[in-house]
Amino acid sequence: MEMNIDGQHDPIVFFDVETTYPNPGQDTILYEFGSIYVCPRRLIELKSYSTLIRPDDLDTLPDLSYKGITRKDLASAPHFSQVADTIYDILHDRIWAGHNIEDFDCARIKEAFDGINKPAPEYRHLIDSQHLLTDWFGKRAGNMKQLDSLAAYFGSKEQVHRSLDDVRMNLEVVKHCGAVLFLEAMCPEILPQTSWISPNEVSIHSTYAIPTSFYDGNPKIRIMHRDIDLKLHCNRLKVRFGIRKFDNGTHFRGGCLFTFM
């Protein structure tokens, strides 16, 4: 697809890498890269690229079937050295964008290039949507580190944790957040700038917990208030949530402790 950009602006490169989650002392294994070029004036996708990446040792990979990836897929995928030049051309001297890329994805890209003794691409500017949206959108959508929390807040489909799907979801989330912030700024008397509530507004009878899980199966609990995620705001409030075992060792009980400083 030919890139058509309004004005003289270079495209923004939204990208994402998928890696294993290693045990302590192990390295991450990069097995997928995906990117899209985005017009900065219209925020539309111009061009995309994605590839699976064959690791050095397939036997070290965990089961990825829940993502629709098989060992056969990875066995026939190119090694990173075979796609490094393409990825370098996509990224080098561009504006990089992505969710949590400053702390995670950028380091994984550098590690991959270091592993084949080639210079890693460098960005001209970096836009990390996690930091950007935490500062400007607040934590109203829950855990801002998790892109799926933001997607769920806007009623989007569940994050599938595949590179190209995730970068497209990232772009849509940025658009949604930008639209909300614009409306709140333009219509402050109609739209409140936060969905947080004070502790005095919490109804105990309307508060409950539901079990959920991360995409990798780790358990998680959501605290709900009137069918939406409970979000409290108080400058002097500290909240601790924990699970305690009964004396007989057979039952568990969870609870919240609210402390005003």
Instruction: Compute the mean pLDDT over every residue in the chain, rounded to the nearest whole number.
Output: 81
pTM above 0.85, yes or no: no
Nearest to 173 by CA among 199, 145, 192, 194: 145
pLDDT (tens digit, 9 = 90+) per residue, 47-63? 999 999 999 988 888 88
Q: Establish whether 125 is a catalytic residue.
A: no
Catalytic one of 92, 99, 131, 161: 161
Using left for φ > 0, alpha for ψ between -120 and 50, and beta otherwise, residue 190 falls in alpha
pLDDT (tens digit, 9 = 90+) per residue, 185-200? 888 777 665 555 666 7
User: Is there a contact between 44 and 174 (Cβ–Cβ < 8 Å)?
Assistant: no
CB atoms within 10 A of CB 196: 15
pLDDT at 114 over 60: yes
User: Is there a contact between 70 and 89 (Cβ–Cβ < 8 Å)?
Assistant: no
pLDDT, position 198? 62
Stretch 27-50: mean pLDDT: 94
pLDDT (tens digit, 9 = 90+) per residue, 199-252? 677 777 778 777 765 545 566 677 777 776 676 555 565 655 555 444 544 444
pLDDT (tens digit, 9 = 90+) per residue, 160-180? 789 999 999 999 999 999 998
In the chain, domain spans: 12-186, 199-260
**CATH assignment of 12-186?**
3.30.420.10
